[in-house]
Amino acid sequence: MSKSKLVVTPVQACSAAPLVRRALTEQHAGELASAFKALSDPVRLRLLSSIASREGQEACVCDLSTGIDLTQPTISHHLKVLREAGLLVSERRASWVYYRVVPEALQRLSEVLLVESGAGVDA
């Protein structure tokens, strides 16, 4: 039985590429992850789109169930998740709750995606 010798060739050391911008901090990444997680559900994405598509980017909860085959409590739960993620704000007017898009929150998400893709400039 012959024993063959294992030949090990030296590997060059890894050299890190220089940073061209600051990476996300742990806190900022956590905040963004909450918003992206909220948007990862198709129903929530549709609700946000429905609100954003209306005049003033605002809609009454009574108008949001149209075309979405879910119970009102389930829709309310999804709206709560979007609100807690900072993507919507709500206001009670008499018996109804109105939801409005937070444009600055969507802008922040858009900017992060542009910067991470290399298409945006980090100021």
Entry pTM: 0.76
Per-residue confidence (pLDDT) for residue 1, from 0 to 100: 58
CB-facing half-sphere around the CA of 54: CA atoms within 13 A: 16
Cα 9-11-14 angle, rounded to 5 deg: 175
Tell me the pLDDT band of 89, cut-offs 50, 70 and 90: very high
What CATH number is given for 27-117 in this structure?
1.10.10.10
DSSP H or E run through 23: none
Tell me the pLDDT band of 122, cut-offs 50, 70 and 90: very low
Indicate the residue type of 50. Answer: S
97, 60 contact by CB (below 8 A): yes
Structure tokens at 36: 């992206």
pLDDT at 61 over 60: yes
Write down the domain spans for the chain.
27-117
pLDDT at 45 over 90: yes
Which residue has tokens 């542009």?
Answer: 114
Which residue has tokens 């918003």?
Answer: 35
